[in-house]
Amino acid sequence: SSSRGVRLTNLGDPYYRNRYAGAKRVL
């Protein structure tokens, strides 16, 4: 799942980018 989030972040998707940032905060 983590890899998928990173991949989507590379696409520059604002929605997934925010989601990834939130996950990083939790970690």
Identify the pLDDT of residue 3: 58
Instruction: Let me know: does 23 contact 8? Beta carbons within 8 Å.
Output: no
Q: What is the largest CA-CA distance in the chain?
A: 22
Identify the pLDDT of residue 6: 59
Identify the pLDDT of residue 9: 54
Identify the pLDDT of residue 20: 72
* Predicted model pTM: 0.27
1-27 residue pLDDT tens: 455 555 555 555 676 677 777 777 666
Identify the pLDDT of residue 12: 59
